[in-house]
Chains A and B, each alone.
Chain A
Amino acid sequence: MLLTADPAARPRLLGALTVLVVLWPLFQAAEVKPGALFDASNLKVIGNFLAAFLPPETGAGFLGHLAKATLETLAIASAGMLLAFLLAVPLGYLATAAGRERPTLNPVTRSLLTLLRGIPELVWALVFVRIFGLGPAAGVLALGLTYGGMLAKVYAEILESVDPAPANALRHSGAGRPLALLYGLVPLAAKELASYTVYRWECAIRASVVMGFVGAGGLGQLMDQAMKMLNGGEAASILLAFMALVFAADGLSQWLRRALDTPPADRPSPFGPRSALLALTLLAGTVASFRFLNIGFGELFTADAARSMGEFVAGFFPPDLSAEWLAKVGKGIWETLAISVVGTLLAAVAGLLLALPKPHAPFGFVLNALRSVPELVWATITALAVGLGPFAGALALALHTAGVLGRLYAEAFDNAPPAATRALRLAGAPAGVRFLYGTLPGATPQLIAYTLYRWEMNIRMAAILGFVGAGGLGQLLYFELSLFHYAQASTVIIAMLLLSIGVDQTSAWLRQRLR
């Protein structure tokens, strides 16, 4: 039969309608009210606050604190990343379907990863602070666990996304699975694996900043004090220190990617002096981090610590499952979901607009500035701008995520195979059309994967934004924990976990459908 109409038209229309029907109530729940941004009294408050940022605090005593806190943040992030990496490599290997002849998803590892990632690092940090006391140990452990889970999952997915033919061919000529992965998949995936790891390290820097808010040391603790005293000058200096850190990490990441791109020299060993230098730097960096933090890991695992941990954990059981409380948690779940969806969508639009123009340079600066400020800090500012509530949370998520997504989008466009675009250019297509026909189709699966993946992270972030009054589950958790209502807090943590599992499943399903 000859088709005269486009058979894809109807499903597309239906899909668009479904999206609208699903999104409308979410926008309602997030209390999106753009008008509040331009409300005169709100503008005055935020204006006064921002005016206090100038000049940044530069007293010698404060700068000394700032330098120490910056180093501490860097050390927490690096030590946490090492822990995460050591966890992620074996877990990712077990969880990935790559290189398996019969695709299995290895449900046990997958659920362990979900458990690790599902509980936000800030909640882990809160728990570890209760067990191990104030200090960097709680931050390092919390980072190691959550980021271990995230890295493992992303490693697994990256390995599944590259062309499986080389690994399969090796398996068919008798190589075992680990070797087939190393020889067949890792060379293709190396660039993405490395850049994701470095990118996660940058995220770890921001996360360790945020964890300072619950007493895990570093820049966050300093920021918390500055914000509580509404000391704009100090806050500005601290923000500048964040940005400097993130920019430095970004530079390092770009250098690494370039190094991976350089063709090897004509010598037998694939590793030259530069690789040796890199390995040495990494080693020295991690050793220095652990020494600087001076974590007595021995003390963490004494009988005493185990007992207090046991008591603390026992307090969470049984969770409060009364109908009244469940209804309240249910409302929190809906609000959190709305914050995450609205925040991610706004971010995707803004990120795409910022990623498109060339040259990247000025927009790259905006993107870096946006993402170098953690969501939680954005939330304290947006709450001033539009008042406490879910919209402030959604805006804070959108601001930070726009920076992240914009950068990832720009990278995806740069990495898209150039052959298709070149062919179109030779056929005389104008630039915009070349982008739509040549670059975009190649990059779309990656754009969708990045956006959905960010949504999964944002659901966790949305769950804790409430810590600073942006509504949702976080507000409930923070409130109950500060009243030592562990049974109620436990219900909220379970709800966070279920929510993030639900979002992961939806996101995986969507990724599959939109591939």
Chain B
Amino acid sequence: MSFSLDGVGLTHANGYTALADISLRADRGERIALIGPSGAGKTSLLSVIGTALAPTAGQGTVLDSALAGQAPRGQDLKRLRARIGTIHQAPPIPGRQRVVTAVLAGRLGQWPAWKSLASLLYPMDIPGARAALERVELADKLFCRCDQLSGGQLQRVGIARVLYQQPDLLLADEPVSALDPALAQATIRLLTADAEARGATLIASLHAVDLALGNFRRIVGVKAGRIAFDLPSERVTDALLHALYASEGEELPVQAHEPAYVTRQRAANDAATRAACC
């Protein structure tokens, strides 16, 4: 069992109910896509699973630790968290940090303190960081500063950090929102392949329905803080999807197909940043 939630609810201090009566479980190695309109509670759900937010109702376990009641604290909590990797929609990386340090930061929960401190003076695992960056095709940016990267490149640095962390449970919150369609597809494949190879559990929230259906076997629809459906991808019908996204109009959100000149423009931008850096 990787995680299980049983009637979990989350009500914020201001009275807003983000999640209500969520029951969801995943076995080790499962790969799940989370879809639903914006504001449905996808990020909250991932935050609860990732121990960032404690549920205000219900029970749950993550990697055999309780989420509520007897939840681990102190060192136990750190050990648990070191096994959970999160890819955030907005990469939580300080702009003035170097790419190599940002990637190595993925293992701060696993490294002894002396190593983490020494790594600020001299990166302690350059080959590791380079390998992780190679997988997102950014190895040439190893010693750049993060504020020299474009939004899409920065998002890939955030992904490289989690690849380097090698967590048992991989949570991804709109991991490809800043990437163009081709790169988004490749990155989702990279994440699923990484999870499969290491037997890790992957749960990714995605705004683009086609990306979810094409790459994940299990689809969980979330609407208004509740689970709308939890089905194998082949049984997710158009009717279900239209009901899920009723609030967002007729069209289902899919990957944007940008005109070619936009992609060309982006390539030129990338080249410009590359020229400015290193």
Contact = CB atoms under 8 A, between A and B. Distances in A.
Interface stretch (A55-63, A184-192, A322-330, A385-393): A184-192
Contacts of A191: 96
Interface residues on chain A, size class = 20 to 34
A174 B108 CA distance: 7
Interface string B27-60: 0000000000000000000000011100000000
Contact of A173 (B86, B148, B278): B86
A166 B82 contact: no
A499 to B, nearest CB: 35
A16 B106 CA distance: 50
B121 A270 contact: yes
Nearest to B97: A187
B4 interface: no
Task: Pick from A188, A191, A265 the residue with the most CB of B within 10 Å.
Answer: A188
Interface stretch (B87-95, B203-211, B226-234, B263-271): B87-95
A173 B85 contact: yes
A283 to B, nearest CB: 16
Interface in A164-178: 165-166, 168-176, 178
A268 B143 contact: yes
A165 B52 CA distance: 12
Contact of A170 (B108, B110, B113): B108
Interface string A260-278: 0001111111110000000
Nearest to B52: A172
Given A173-B165, A185-B94, A269 B144 contact: no
B98 interface: yes
Contact of B278 (A168, A174, A175, A266): A266
Contacts of A265: 143
A265 B144 CA distance: 8
Interface of A: 162-163, 165-166, 168-176, 178-180, 182-185, 187-188, 190-191, 263-271
A269 B82 contact: no
A183 B82 contact: no
Given A166-B92, A184-B105, A188-B94, 7 more contacts: A166-B93, A183-B101, A266-B278, A267-B143, A269-B123, A270-B98, A271-B121
A349 to B, nearest CB: 34
A220 B122 CA distance: 44
B92 A174 contact: no
Contacts of A268: 100, 122-123, 126, 143
B116 A264 contact: no
A179 B82 CA distance: 13
B52 A269 contact: no
B52 to A, nearest CB: 5
Contacts of A270: 98, 101, 120-122
Contacts of B242: none
Nearest to A175: B108
B146 to A, nearest CB: 9
Contact of B108 (A163, A165, A179, A263): A179
A264 B86 contact: no
A158 to B, nearest CB: 13
B82 A190 contact: no
A265 B98 CA distance: 11
B78 interface: yes
Given A183-B116, A187-B97, A264-B98, A175 B105 contact: yes
Interface string B121-134: 11100100000000
8 closest cross-chain pairs (CB), A and B = A174-B109, A174-B82, A175-B108, A174-B81, A169-B92, A187-B97, A187-B94, A165-B92
Contacts of B92: 165-166, 168-170, 184
B81 A171 contact: yes
Nearest to B83: A174
A172 B165 contact: no
Contacts of A180: 108
B150 to A, nearest CB: 14
Contact of B51 (A166, A172, A269): A172
6 contacts: A172-B51, A174-B78, A182-B120, A187-B97, A263-B148, A268-B122
A165 B145 contact: no
B143 A264 contact: yes
Contact of A165 (B79, B90, B113, B121): B90
Contact of B113 (A162, A163, A179, A187): A179
A354 B127 CA distance: 51
A447 B120 CA distance: 32
Task: Pick from A179, A185, A191 the residue with the most CB of B within 10 Å.
Answer: A179
B233 to A, nearest CB: 29
A186 to B, nearest CB: 8
Contacts of B120: 182-183, 270
Contact of A182 (B84, B86, B117): B117
Contacts of B106: 173
B80 interface: yes
B254 interface: no
A171 B117 CA distance: 16
Contacts of A176: 78, 108, 113
Contacts of B145: 263-264
